[in-house]
Amino acid sequence: MPSSIRESDTSLLAARPELVRKTARARLRPPIRVKAAVGGVVVLSLIIMGLAGPFIAPHDPNAQQLRAALQGPQWFAGGHFLGTDNLGRDVLSRILHGARVSLLVALAVVLISGIVGVSLGAISGYFGGKVDFVIQKLVEVVWAFPPLLLAITILAFLGQGLFNLVLALVAQRWIQYCRVVRGQALSLRTRDFVTATKALGASDSRVIRRHVLPNLIQASLVIGTFAMASAIISEASLSFLGLGVPPEIPTWGTMLADGRVYISTAWWLALFPGMSIFVTVLGINLLGDAARDFLDPRLKRSGAKL
């Protein structure tokens, strides 16, 4: 009997890696694979454009050539692949440099919002009581303001600048993390492993740091992925209104604002930056949707079996 038990245990251990691989493949259903592949390619392209934009841009994004103003896309037949704007600036070079601003703002907003929101949400859900009441009242007060209107107010008061832009976008985006993390922390604080850790004499800060926060990473990653797309749209909206970064820094929103005047005569001025925003946001949303399905395969949406 003992030898047969050992043989069965050995066979189970040998079959375990194959079982893990099959489980992973089952999670990555064909729709998830497509969304992850498309979203990953778009996000990787954005990162490459943001990091290598100054090196691969064919022209200086702010160099003005009035004699070459409003030239249409020349593709591979000329020196301006996507044409020029009303001041003769190369559209492709400005799009490549604008990717840096979008990437920097999106990463900064997600990182700062995540740290603030996850920390406050974990503290609120873990301690409860008066601490939870105060934090949630703060959430309700900030949540009462429309996000874009609050950002416009902050920028109008502080002025243009990259730091001020990030601060204006962070002002309300931490709430999403806080509300989701609070709900999970309320459940985690009653789990047996948390109770056992506290019974062994661990402090509240150690319990939160070592046992609560690690269990909140998955939900925070999914929220952060979608928050990147929202931050890019908000940055483009504020730049379109002239409240984003200074005018000498090329952004997709500023290019849209400049191109709207010539929409009937120079269609490429608004089309290419608009398509850049559209493709980037769509790719990030697809990647976030795939990450949500993979990290929580229990989610069943309508039409999933079609």
Question: Residue 303's pLDDT is what?
Answer: 39
pLDDT of res. 17: 55
User: Residue 90 in 3-state DSSP?
Assistant: strand
Query: Could you list the pLDDT tens digit for every one of the 306 residues in the chain?
Result: 444 444 444 444 444 555 545 555 555 556 677 888 888 888 888 888 888 877 888 888 888 888 888 888 988 877 888 889 888 899 999 999 988 888 899 899 999 999 999 999 989 888 888 998 999 999 999 888 888 888 888 988 888 888 889 999 998 889 989 988 888 888 888 888 888 888 888 887 888 888 888 888 888 888 888 888 889 998 898 888 888 888 888 889 999 988 888 888 889 999 999 999 999 999 988 888 888 777 765 544 433 443
| pTM of the predicted model as reported, rounded to 2 decimal places | 0.80
Q: Do residues 73 and 83 lie in contact, with contact meaning Cβ atoms separated by under 8 Å?
A: yes
Contact 170, 110 (CB under 8 A): no
* Whole-number pLDDT of residue 30: 64
Q: Give dist(CA 43, CA 104) in Å, integer.
A: 13
Q: Output the six-digit token pair for 242.
A: 């002239």
* Placement of tokens 């600048």 in the chain: 161
Rounded CA gap, 17 and 229, in Å? 36
43-59+79-295 CATH pick, 1.10.3720.10, 3.40.50.920, 3.40.50.2300, 3.30.750.24: 1.10.3720.10
User: Tell me, what's the pLDDT at 4?
Assistant: 46
For every residue of 102-158, DSSP letters joined together read HHHHHHHHHHHHHHHHHHHHHHHHHH-HHHHHHHHHHHHHHHTS-HHHHHHHHHHHH
- Residue 163 to residue 141: CA distance in whole angstroms: 24
Residue 70 DSSP SS3: coil
Residue 265 to residue 245: CA distance in whole angstroms: 27
> What residues does each domain of the chain span?
43-59+79-295
What pLDDT is recorded for position 23? 52
Radius of gyration, alpha carbons of the chain: 25
Q: Which residues is 84 bridged to in the sheet?
A: 90
